[in-house]
Structure formats: structure tokens, C-alpha cells
Amino acid sequence: MSKPPDLMQGTLDLLLLKIIGLLPQHGWAISQRLKQVSDQELQVSDGSLYPALHKLELAGWITAEWKVGELGRRAKFYTLTRAGRRRLDHETEHWRRVSSAITRVLQLKEV
């Protein structure tokens, strides 16, 4: 496999909620954090990051605020809303259930 598989539909949202939930930050920082923690395994292009962030914002899971960031420039900082926090918990739980179910299936051995 030359290229890591694309992220499952909806998974990027979960990752973004998680990262923003840890610390309110701007788009570039989110992208760096994503690359860093996933060890380059998850290929999220910066080009798909912003559409995903805007979608979450319009849905009300996250909200944005303009603050002065690095280089002394104005940057758009994203924060989790309370509903976003609940959504994150819910999605995390869902992910756990699904992934452990998949793992169980993959662990089946021939008899």
C-alpha cells in the first residue's frame, strides 16, 4: 500500500472535536497537532481541514473567536461549545464500540 487509507467518513469530525476540546486553537495549530499525534499515519490535507472546521462551526459544535495569534497576526481560534462537548463524548463512545467490535471480528481464527 503506497498511501495510507482515507479517513473514514465522520472520523475527521471526531478528531477535530477532540483536539479543539483539549485546547482552543486556530486552524494551523490544529493541523500541526493532528500531524504530530497521528505520527503522519492519518493524512489530513490542510485543504480538507478548513471545510471540516467550517462545517462544525455552522452546526454549532464549535464556535470561533478572533484573537491575536503568533507572528502578531489576527487568527481565528476555535473553541468547543457545550453541545460540542456532549457530541464529542457521544462520538467517542460510539467509536469505542465500533472499533472494538471490528477488532473482535478481525481476531477470529480458523478452526
Distance CA 13, CA 88 (A): 9
Give the CA count within 13 Å in the CB-facing half-sphere of 26: 11
Minimum separation from the CB atom of position 107 to other proteins (A): 38
Q: Is 3 in the site for other proteins (CB under 8 A)?
A: no
Cβ distance 19 to 79 under 8 Å? Answer: no
Distance CA 87, CA 108 (A): 32
* Interacting positions 14-73 with other proteins (CB under 8 A): 26-28, 31, 45-47, 50-51, 54-55, 57-64, 66, 69-71, 73
What is the binding site for other proteins (CB under 8 A)?
26-28, 31, 45-47, 50-51, 54-55, 57-64, 66, 69-71, 73-76, 81-84
